[in-house]
Amino acid sequence: MYDLIIIGAGPAGITASVYAARKKMNFLLITKDIGGQAAWSGDVENYTGYQFISGADLTAKFEEHMKAYDIKLNDNEEVTDIKKESGIIRVKTKKGVYDAKALIIASGKKSRELGIPGEKEFKNKGITYCATCDGPLFSGRDVAVIGGGNAGLDAVMQLIKIARLVYLIEVAPYLSGDDILQTRMKESEKVTVLTDARVTAVLGDNFVTGIKIKVKNEERILHVEGVFVEIGLIPNSEFARGIEKRESGEIKVNSYNETSVPGIFAAGDVTDVPEKQIIIASGEGAKATLSAFRYLTRQK
């Protein structure tokens, strides 16, 4: 029986675990991976204390800080169900069952898919959802980035250094990413921006050879060998049955990170807290542990 179980080891989960360790709580951290979306980020320039750091390096700093404490970590383990009965919260994974008096869900989000012909067939054969992870595989090639938000612009900035040409495709009539990223992107002659454009199919043989797009009412084929999908994220909250969520799947929380179930807290991108930023997720993770600690103290 643990005092606390934390699900997820992105910025929110790692920060929650550091705070739990400092409170001398008996807790378990369960995660599929370490770093979450932060590990996929390219250049991070808005995390206080670092004028510039890569997502991978920042994740390494988080992990180093976490491992400075004696934290019980179950890595590469996926949660499939949670349930509260008689005051005890039971967490089921593909490997086991664990009980706790309190729970923090910090499971983050996963990439949204296009849902078009050819996507499943060419996944990992030219289609990728992580420029940081897979960008170097497309050195000197023509590629397309789907999505004009910050994630898409971040991917473009990384690929400018790697690819021969980069197409940025956005379904809306304008890009929604930060102005500073748009300005930097436009300084490169490698980038072609297509707005009011929708990808309708991925083409290829054994690997991607192109994409079919519709720009306004005109159909075109872009000959690319890499497709980077950056059209948003979906909360990893499927296992959180019985907890109130928004239509998007985000878990509803109040200012104390409390969910609709007493003793179950949530933090980071899996929640409905506005603005999905690394620094915000970290702060929410700290708040969630402090709220869980207060809850357990009152229960005693």
Q: Tens digit of pLDDT for each residue in 163-211?
A: 999 999 999 999 999 999 999 999 999 999 999 999 999 999 999 999 9
User: What is the domain extent for residue 198?
Assistant: 113-229
Last residue of a domain, one of 196, 229, 262: 229
pLDDT confidence bin for 299, thresholds 50/70/90: confident
Among the listed residues 171, 185, 256, 209, the one whose alpha carbon sits nearest the alpha carbon of residue 42? 185
Same domain, residue pair 215 and 239: no
Beta strands in 39-78 (DSSP E): 43-44, 53-54, 72-74
**For this structure, is 81 an active site residue?**
no
The DSSP symbol for 200 reads E
Same domain, residue pair 219 and 247: no
Given a cut of 80, whether residue 53 has pLDDT beyond it is yes
Same domain, residue pair 167 and 32: no
Given a cut of 80, whether residue 217 has pLDDT beyond it is yes
Same domain, residue pair 132 and 31: no
**Beta pairing partners, 184:** none
d(CA 235, CA 237) in angstroms, rounded, equals 5
**pLDDT for the residue numbered 294:** 98
CATH number reported for the structural domain that contains residue 6 in this entry:
3.50.50.60
Same domain, residue pair 197 and 237: no
**For this structure, is 99 an active site residue?**
no
Same domain, residue pair 99 and 238: yes
Given a cut of 80, whether residue 151 has pLDDT beyond it is yes
Same domain, residue pair 14 and 95: yes
The DSSP symbol for 12 reads H
Last residue of a domain, one of 207, 229, 251: 229
Specify the higher pLDDT residue, 40 or 170. Answer: 170
The string of DSSP letters for 156-188 reads HHHHHTT-SEEEEE-SSSS--S-HHHHHHHHT-
Coil, strand or helix: which one is 103? Answer: strand
Same domain, residue pair 98 and 238: yes
pLDDT confidence bin for 68, thresholds 50/70/90: very high
**pLDDT for the residue numbered 124:** 85
**For this structure, is 133 an active site residue?**
yes
Same domain, residue pair 213 and 159: yes
Residue 110 CB neighbour total at 10 angstroms: 15
Last residue of a domain, one of 204, 229, 254: 229
Same domain, residue pair 75 and 173: no
**pLDDT for the residue numbered 213:** 97
Same domain, residue pair 8 and 106: yes
Beta strands in the chain (DSSP E): 2-9, 27-34, 43-44, 53-54, 72-74, 79-85, 88-93, 97-105, 109-111, 127-128, 142-146, 165-169, 191-194, 197-204, 208-215, 218-222, 226-229, 233-235, 264-266
The radius of gyration computed from the CA coordinates of the chain, to the nearest angstrom, equals 21
Domain count, the chain: 2
Among the listed residues 251, 282, 275, the one whose alpha carbon sits nearest the alpha carbon of residue 103? 251
| Amino acid at residue number 85 | E
- Span 218-247, average pLDDT: 95
Catalytic option among 33, 130, 178, 196: 130
Residue 24 CB neighbour total at 10 angstroms: 9
Tokens linked to 115: 């849902």
Catalytic option among 43, 75, 99, 133: 133
- Span 256-271, average pLDDT: 98
pTM: 0.81
**Complete edge-to-edge strand list for the sheet that includes strand 191-194:** 127-128, 226-229, 142-146, 165-169, 191-194
**CB under 8 Å to 189, separation ≥6 — which residues?**
none
Catalytic option among 134, 178, 196, 272: 134
Tokens linked to 224: 């690319």
Same domain, residue pair 123 and 214: yes
pLDDT confidence bin for 44, thresholds 50/70/90: confident
pLDDT confidence bin for 267, thresholds 50/70/90: very high
Tokens linked to 105: 């869900």
Given a cut of 90, whether residue 300 has pLDDT beyond it is no
Q: At 93, give phi and psi (nearest 5°).
A: -125, 180
